[in-house]
Amino acid sequence: MVNAAEVNVYSARKEALIKPALDDFAKQTGIQVNLITGNADALISRIKSEGKFSPADILLTTDAGRLVRAKQLGLTQGYTSDTVKNVVPSALRDTQGHWFALTMRARPIMVIKGSQQATQQIDYETLAKPDLNGKVCVRSSSNIYNQSMLSARIHQLGAESTEQFVKGLVRNFARPPKGGDRDQIKAMVAGQCQYAIANTYYLAGMLESNDPAEVKVAEQVKVLWPNQDNRGTHVNISGAALMQYAPNTEAAKQLLDFLLSEKSQSWYAEVNHEYPVRDGVAWSQVLTDMGQFKSEVVPLEKVGELNADAVKLMDRAGWK
């Protein structure tokens, strides 16, 4: 047992989506977990401004792009245990051990059940075709999920091809991008568009919502897995990093390994409806019902590194 009494976690995940797992760790180890939640970019800026006096031991956040950003700012340090190496696929962690995935989240295309669109096989590129003018809903270019989706495409197919795709996609927007992923799904069900791009866990959260109206909307939606005959559906992560000036390093390392345990991975899958990184851990029933799919295999380190290129490309293409 490590004698450290506490560990400080800065989390961009909402408290309800992480605190039960942290409480379980505290109960098992006797190590107190101090949780600070907030916007991911704001937390990264806070850690940077705190410098070597930062109390942060661990950063938990969504999207590889933010983890790469934290590393580029010199806020992280390498940590690679046997657990990390054995559980997390190499494409889902930093080559120098500065961050790794805890869960995966897919970003497919969604349509209305029973519609003509629901029967088709589809690629992301389908959404850029001229005959879909005014039929696509997606959130803004400032959203990190969209930025990473395009960063992955740049890595796979090149910047020129990706820019042409984005120009076609923008021409097909049903409305100026606004709101989050749930708003795109709701707009589609309301008849404002025929296709929505959204992360699966948002749809899953709507299906499990306490709001009957939200459940009713979600029940009308079908997930289409794009690019199944080629590179696969875009997948991103939630992940963790050990901070450069972590004052409670050993306790932090214990917690990082704990979050990759079977129990923690099962909890993430069941409660947050995200895909576990650990082999053999069952998906939630909601995700299982959405179907199996082939995911793209892209080093997420590259996705983060190409973020600036993706943002510039989106600006040139007119994605607001």
Q: Could you tell me the CATH number of the domain that includes residue 134? A: 3.40.190.10
Tokens of 78: 């390498």
Q: What is the pLDDT of residue 16?
A: 82
In a domain, 137, yes or no: yes
Let me know whether 86 and 136 are in one domain.
Answer: no
pLDDT of residue 165: 98
In the structure, what pLDDT confidence band is assigned to residue 112 with cuts at 50, 70 and 90?
A: very high
* Same domain for 86 and 152: no
On whether both 142 and 203 belong to a single domain, the answer is yes
Is there a domain that residue 177 lies in? yes
- Span 103-110, mean pLDDT? 96
User: Are residue 71 and residue 34 in the same domain, yes or no?
Assistant: yes
Check whether 70 has a pLDDT greater than 70.
Answer: yes
Indicate whether 1 belongs to any domain: no
Same domain membership, residue 116 and residue 75: no
Whether 255 is in a domain gets the answer: yes
CB atoms within 10 A of CB 222: 17
21 and 57 together in one domain: yes
Enclosing domain of residue 213: 106-233+300-317
Question: Residues 131, 253: one domain?
Answer: no
Q: How confident is the model at residue 44 (pLDDT cuts 50, 70, 90)?
A: very high
Residues 228 and 188 in one domain: yes
For the residues 123-134, what does the mean pLDDT come to?
97
Average pLDDT over residues 95-106: 95
Domain count, the chain: 2
pLDDT of 63: 86
Task: Give the single-character DSSP code of 31.
Answer: -
Contact between 263 and 24 under an 8 Å Cβ cutoff? The reply is yes
What is the rounded average pLDDT of the residues 201-212? 95
Contacts of 110 (CB under 8 A, 6+ apart): 184, 185, 188, 195, 196, 197, 198, 203, 221, 222, 223, 224
Q: Report pLDDT for 15.
A: 86
pLDDT for residue 3 is more than 60: no
Query: What is the reported pLDDT for 13?
Result: 84
Do residue 192 and residue 304 come from a single domain? Answer: yes
**Spatial distance between the Cα atoms of 269 and 279, rounded to a whole number of angstroms:** 12
Same domain membership, residue 201 and residue 95: no
Does residue 222 lie within any of the structural domains?
yes
36 and 138 co-located in one domain? no
pLDDT digits (tens, 9 = 90+) for 223-271: 999 999 999 999 999 999 999 999 999 999 999 999 999 999 999 899 8
- State whether the Cα torsion 296-301-302-303 is positive or negative: positive
Can you give the pLDDT at residue 146?
Answer: 96
Q: Over the chain, what is the mean pLDDT?
A: 95
* 228 and 176 together in one domain: yes
Q: What percent of the chain has pLDDT above 70?
A: 99
Residue 157 structure tokens: 């197919």
For residue 20, being part of any structural domain is answered with: yes
In a domain, 254, yes or no: yes
pLDDT of amino acid 1: 42
Strand order in the sheet with 136-137: 136-137, 195-197, 109-112, 221-224
Q: Within 73-226, where are the H helices?
A: 82-87, 144-157, 159-171, 181-189, 200-207, 212-218
Instruction: Establish if 295 belongs to a structural domain.
Output: no
